[in-house]
């Protein structure tokens, strides 16, 4: 069974600010991507590298109802 990536403060920061670099949702913040788009990646395979890690992490956050963690991180950041 594949293990979920470990979340860290730098990853939270990137999840709050990173924008989708291509595709249908180009320019949109990753945190605003619809769950259906993340589910599509989960079925087809996440991209390699940083983008794949961020998408996979955000998918796990949404899947497990942990979006409040990003909201708290965003509030702390401001």
Q: Kindly give the residue spans of alpha helices, DSSP state H, lying in 1-78.
A: 9-17, 35-44, 49-63, 67-77
**Does any domain span residue 3?**
no
Number of domains in the chain: 1
pLDDT of 69 strictly over 70:
yes
List pLDDT tens digits, range 8-62. 677 778 888 999 999 999 999 998 999 999 999 999 999 999 999 999 999 999 9
Cβ 21 vs Cβ 51: under 8 Å: yes
This prediction has a pTM of 0.78
pLDDT at 77: 63
Q: Which domain holds residue 37?
A: 9-77
Q: Which residue has the tokens 């999840």?
A: 15
Asked if 32 and 26 touch (Cβ cutoff 8 Å), the reply is no
Please give the average per-residue pLDDT across 64-75, as a whole number: 78
Q: Assess contact for 30 and 58: CB atoms under 8 A.
A: yes
Flag whether pLDDT at 76 surpasses 70.
no
CA of residue 68 relative to chain centroid, distance: 13
């Amino acid at each position: 069974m594949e293990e979920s990536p470990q979340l860290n403060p730098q990853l939270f920061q990137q999840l709050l600010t990173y924008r989708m670099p291509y595709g249908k949702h180009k320019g949109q913040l990753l945190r605003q991507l619809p769950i259906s788009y993340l589910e599509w990646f989960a079925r087809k395979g996440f991209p390699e590298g940083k983008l794949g890690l961020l998408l996979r992490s955000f998918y796990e956050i949404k899947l497990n109802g942990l979006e409040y963690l990003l909201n708290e991180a965003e509030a702390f950041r401001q």
